[in-house]
Structure 1
Amino acid sequence: MASRRNGTLYTGVTSNLVQRTWQHREGVIAGFTKKYGCKLLVWFENGDTMEGAITREKQIKGGSRAKKLALIESSNPEWNDLYDSVALY
């Protein structure tokens, strides 16, 4: 999630991407994303297991900001909000 292009970034893990993204967008849960306005889904990755997803989340969180920006821009160079594309499923 991002507040804007090159803005504040948030990395998380969920078993329901559509629902969790909606919660972030609407600000219905207090926390980091609400405080910093992270409402744009700019990148996501599917995991095979929750354990694997949590491991990957920690890897991403432990990386540099430059690596996070490169990850986003490798598949979404325009920083489009991907919510509508995942909400269809």
Structure 2
Amino acid sequence: NVGGLCVSAGVPILVAMLAAAKDLPFEMALFMGLGSLPSFIFMPLVPAIKKKVGKKNMFYIFLTVAIVGMAMLYIISKMGPVKDHITLVYIAQFI
């Protein structure tokens, strides 16, 4: 899981810091970190969830949650300036 966090959040932040001419915004680092955080929370629970609901239903549950999160990000992006709704963006990214 630490390797996944480094690849999905750490490496892009490092590349942005090295390649960017200006400082990396804190919001970008937070956004990338929130996208990786659920894997640390839910991956250890996968065997218990699979045992409780079954493999196929677990797939459908996780797929539904992912679609809801992506739909939230899309809807929030169409609501106006993202800076006005940054908390909603962070919640949707965590989902």
Greater CA radius of gyration, 1 or 2? 2
Higher helix share: 2
Same fold (TM over 0.5): no
- Identify the TM-score tier after normalising by the shorter chain: 0.3 to 0.5
TM-score by structure 2 length?
0.31
